[in-house]
Amino acid sequence: MIEKITFLVLFIYGISTPVSISATNLSLGIISLLFVYAVAKKRKIFYAPEGIPIIFLFFWRAISTFFYPIHSFKLGGKFWDHLPYFFIPNLSVKKTKTIIYATLFTATLISFMGILQAFFGFNYPFLPIQPLLNGEFIGLNFGFRMHSGGYYSIIAVFSLVFFCFLKANWKEKIFLFFCSLLNILVVILAQARTYYVALGIIIPLVFLKKGIRWFISGSFLIIFAVLVLSKFYLGLEKRFVSILDTKKTVSNLERFWMWRTSLKIIKKYPFTGIGFENWQEEVVKYWEKEKGEYPLAWTIAQLEKEGIEEKYILRPLQSHPHNSYLNVAVEDGLIGLTLFLLFWVGNLVQAFRRAKKSPKGSLRYTLNLGVGFSLIMLLIGSFFEYNLSTARLLLPITFLMGLSYLAVEE
């Protein structure tokens, strides 16, 4: 009975990740109760050594509240998003592949429905209308392209890895092929430049793992598809080119300024940082001091020409430095950054090690490869976004990471 309930909860968790974060959190609440039940039954608790650093990071953040403002103690929601990684391996469940396929299918269905709605005017009474905004496709589930791009990049990587490496019948292969194709398409259409770079590196690596012929033909097809899309989808070519424009692209100049500011703060508070989530207050001091100098003065002037007031320019800069590593180093110091890296890089390494020890083509082998390649992709994205601390990406990736310990042959 417990196994059936566990399967159902994990199934709902997976299919809710592209649809409703509230449903995902509700499922996680039930997963937590199932973990408590397992503890009450005195089952042996499994924990991965590579998971320990993130626990110490949260202890470190708690300790930092004695040195910095009390509002920096905002840890509950962040640690909550890591719970699937710790709890799922302790649950008794079968049909892991069914759960993964259901997750991939639902995400791809939402992607497809979003494309139909945005480009062909399809309307769904049970889903919000998301038309193209300034040429920007954001899909149906997220209101921000970076979250959308990050989520669908995870799904795209998993679909591609499963297509390439899982021993499956031809029907499953067709399903996985279209899952990977549609989700790569959605990432491109979302114009999330961070994941252009991340997927542009990871997809060839996946093909290279499969073989040199796959690497050559797969890379050629991706480049060809991007070139074709750029000609038919207005603004896409400009978005690609803007990645390399470091002098006239406002978002690039803002990033460079935030990164330089981050380094100044790290130099001032190297070991303890300024306290968790205190960037938003600290960055204002540097803004006021430097807003009359380039590049801030130029950026403000350009945006004010478009009718955007200074306070609205500052607001996104206050959210985070658009670099996970600098953000953690600023707020948690170099000690916190070390713990952060030990967790994510440690899990990446261990995922590939578990894959190496598993039979090729098996579910465990493929699932761990998927986790490994997805973590590389997210860690690349972390140079440009604060993506490993947002629930939209943590909830699905820690879910898949947890399942990778659980997977057995079916």
Q: Compute φ and ψ for 364, nearest 5 degrees.
A: -65, -40
Q: Compute φ and ψ for 136, nearest 5 degrees.
A: -105, 120
Predicted local distance difference test score (pLDDT) of residue 240? 60
Average pLDDT over residues 138-162: 79
Exposure of 294 in the CB half-sphere (CA atoms within 13 A): 2
Claim to verify: residue 269 and residue 361 sit in the same structural domain = no
Its pTM stands at 0.90
Claim to verify: residue 170 and residue 101 sit in the same structural domain = yes
Claim to verify: residue 307 and residue 369 sit in the same structural domain = no
> What amino acid occupies position 40?
A
Claim to verify: residue 285 and residue 151 sit in the same structural domain = no
Claim to verify: residue 135 and residue 269 sit in the same structural domain = no
The C-alpha atoms of residue 370 and residue 352 are separated, in whole angstroms, by: 9
Percent of all residues in the chain with a pLDDT value above 70, rounded to a whole number: 85
Claim to verify: residue 190 and residue 224 sit in the same structural domain = yes
Predicted local distance difference test score (pLDDT) of residue 347? 97
Q: For helices 96-120 and 391-406, what crossing angle results, to 10°?
A: 150
119 pLDDT more than 80: no
Q: How many domains does the chain have?
A: 2
Predicted local distance difference test score (pLDDT) of residue 382? 94
Residue written as tokens 């320990």?
Answer: 52
The C-alpha atoms of residue 88 and residue 195 are separated, in whole angstroms, by: 28
Task: Specify the 3-state DSSP secondary structure of 336.
Answer: helix
Question: Binning pLDDT at 50, 70 and 90, where does residue 197 land?
Answer: confident
Asked whether the CA dihedral 240, 246, 250, 252 is positive or negative, the reply is positive
Claim to verify: residue 289 and residue 337 sit in the same structural domain = no
What is the Cα Rg of the chain in Å? 22
151 in Cβ contact with 393 (< 8 Å): yes
287: nearest Cα among 305, 299, 274: 299
Claim to verify: residue 116 and residue 254 sit in the same structural domain = no
Claim to verify: residue 117 and residue 189 sit in the same structural domain = yes
Task: Specify the 3-state DSSP secondary structure of 140.
Answer: coil
Claim to verify: residue 142 and residue 232 sit in the same structural domain = yes
Count CB-CB contacts under 10 A for residue 246. Answer: 12
240: CB partners within 8 A, 6+ apart: 193, 196, 226, 230
Average pLDDT over residues 49-63: 90
343 in Cβ contact with 375 (< 8 Å): no
95 pLDDT more than 50: yes
Query: With b meaning 16 or more CB within 10 Å and e meaning fewer, what string describes 60-97?
Result: bbeebbeebeeebbebeebebbbbbbbbbbbbebebbb
Q: Where among 322, 337, 370 does a domain terminate?
A: 322
Claim to verify: residue 318 and residue 330 sit in the same structural domain = no
409 pLDDT more than 50: no
Q: Where among 322, 343, 377 does a domain terminate?
A: 322
225 pLDDT more than 90: no
282: CB partners within 8 A, 6+ apart: 265, 274, 330
140: CB partners within 8 A, 6+ apart: 110, 113, 114, 117, 124, 127, 128, 130
296 pLDDT more than 80: no
Count CB-CB contacts under 10 A for residue 379. Answer: 18
Count CB-CB contacts under 10 A for residue 241. Answer: 11
Query: With b meaning 16 or more CB within 10 Å and e meaning fewer, what string describes 207-231?
Result: beebeeeebeebeeebeeebeeebe
Task: Specify the 3-state DSSP secondary structure of 342.
Answer: helix
- Find the range with the poorest average confidence among 75-89, 163-177, 217-231: 217-231
Output 243 or 300, whichever has higher pLDDT. Answer: 300
273: nearest Cα among 323, 320, 331: 331
Claim to verify: residue 311 and residue 338 sit in the same structural domain = no
Q: Where among 322, 346, 371 does a domain terminate?
A: 322
Asked whether the CA dihedral 362, 363, 368, 373 is positive or negative, the reply is positive
Structural domain containing residue 257: 245-322
The C-alpha atoms of residue 14 and residue 6 are separated, in whole angstroms, by: 12
> In whole numbers, what is the pLDDT of the chain averaged over residues?
84
